[in-house]
């Protein structure tokens, strides 16, 4: 899931302005990707995560 977490980070960098944070939501596989993203990138761009795994 590291590749998908890196893809999520690329999307966040493209759409979230510097200094701002996003809320992300994920179900099933998406929830796992969000958890992997948090492990690799922390909370620099994410303020809240809603997971349904």
45 pLDDT higher than 80:
yes
Instruction: Please check whether residue 26 is in contact with residue 4, taking contact to mean a CB–CB distance below 8 angstroms.
Output: no
| Domain boundaries, given as residue ranges, for the chain | 2-52
- What is the pTM assigned to this prediction? 0.90
Nearby residues of 24 by Cβ (< 8 Å), 6 or more positions away: 8, 12, 34, 37, 46, 48, 49, 50
Instruction: Please check whether residue 10 is in contact with residue 35, taking contact to mean a CB–CB distance below 8 angstroms.
Output: no
pLDDT value for 51: 92
Reduced to 3 states (helix: H, G, I; strand: E, B; else coil), residue 37 is helix
pLDDT value for 33: 96
What distance in Å separates the CA atoms of residue 12 and residue 46, rounded to the nearest whole number?
9
């Amino acid at each position: 899931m590291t590749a998908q977490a890196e893809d999520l980070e690329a999307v966040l960098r493209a759409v979230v302005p510097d200094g701002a944070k996003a809320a992300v939501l994920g179900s099933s596989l998406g929830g796992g990707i969000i958890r992997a993203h948090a492990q690799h990138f922390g909370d620099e761009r994410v303020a809240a995560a809603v997971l349904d795994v």
